[in-house]
Amino acid sequence: MLTIGVDIGGTKVAAGVVDDQGKIVAHTLRPTAADRPDVVAETVADVVRELAAGREIEAVGVGAAGFVDETRSIVRFAPNLAWREEPLQKKISGLVGLPVVIENDANAMAWGETRFGAGRGQSHVVCVTLGTGIGGGIVIDGALYRGRWGMGAELGHMQVVPGGRPCGCGNIGCWEQYASGQALVKEARELAEAEPKRAEILLGLAGGKIEGEEVTEAAKLGDEVSLAAFASFADWLGQGMADLAAVLDPGCFIVGGGVSRAADLFIDRARAAFAERLTGRGHRPFAEIRLAELGASAGVVGAADLARRR
């Protein structure tokens, strides 16, 4: 039986028809209005109707960036969309006439990778998604961990540095302030300002404003400041995963998100940092650290499979 998975981002809605083997058999993409909740629901309904035409669809899974309640129906809060206590499940289900499950987008991505991607065959998985911030998902004993109120696995907001950098969540010293795409760029900018002679390649590429693409390209060309920024990023990534392993003891970490496309610049050092900082090292197995395999389709595949298992 087919299900539809939908991944709602700040500027677009991606959706696909997914079979029970995790294969996307049809897909579509639409822009959306982040500041208009009703328009977002209508856009999701439109793509579902388009994809369902001529097909027998069992249910719809929707991955949404934000706090999704324990009933998987209400988006309590979304940082990049105008959702506040939004009854998204009821709205979309009423528009399309199908069962609908709402899930946090990072949870959906983690489930997709565990079922059909880099986590296949693993029952204890922690997925770390590296984008502007850090998202995450946790699978324990083969089941997605959501927490008592559906708001678990906000990995990026572990506070790792008391009195550290301010975070958009309102706290300070959160992990995503040291091991995210935003953190990588911030580190490179600060180092380049302090030591411009070591950042000649980066500054030449940037032409005035340093962004992630320039940091990555400069690092590949041997720019000292860009390489130092990636080294700091990798050390913090390994440290955070070691902390998570001390609590969750997973068999596997999956590292995905947009920054993971530059994994050749940091993944080996992150693995080494993880090994150096893991509590009880030398007397316990080490979790594997794998790169995600499904790319941008992980959220769609995961949401569709969660709808199938509703």
CATH number at residue 263: 3.30.420.40
Q: Note the pLDDT of residue 84.
A: 92
Series of mean pLDDT values for 10-residue runs along the chain (310 residues): 92 94 97 84 96 97 93 87 91 97 95 98 97 94 95 94 93 97 97 97 95 98 98 98 97 96 98 97 94 96 96
- In this structure, the chain runs to a length of 310
pLDDT of residue 272: 98
* Domain assignment present for 116: no
Spatial contact of 65 and 10, defined as CB atoms under 8 Å apart: yes
Burial class (CB in 10 A: 0-12, 13-18, 19+), 218: buried
Instruction: Provide the number of structural domains found in the chain.
Output: 2
The pLDDT value recorded for residue 16 is 98
Residues 303 and 266 in one domain: no
Structure tokens at 62: 């929707």
Predicted local confidence at residue 54, as pLDDT: 95
Q: What pLDDT was estimated at residue 9?
A: 82
This prediction's pTM: 0.92
Residues 286, 303 within the same domain: no
**Residue 285 backbone class (left: φ over 0; alpha: ψ -120 to 50; beta: rest):** beta
pLDDT at position 86, please? 94
Query: Is residue 22 domain-shared with residue 139, that is, in the same domain?
Result: no
pLDDT of the residue at 1 = 87
Pair 262, 150 in one domain = yes
Same domain, 81 and 148: no
Query: By residue range, what is the domain housing residue 168?
Result: 121-292
**Is residue 212 one of the residues assigned to a domain?**
yes
Please check whether residues 276 and 129 belong to one and the same domain: yes
Model pLDDT, residue 239: 98
Same domain, 67 and 168: no
Indicate if 148 and 277 belong to the same structural domain.
yes
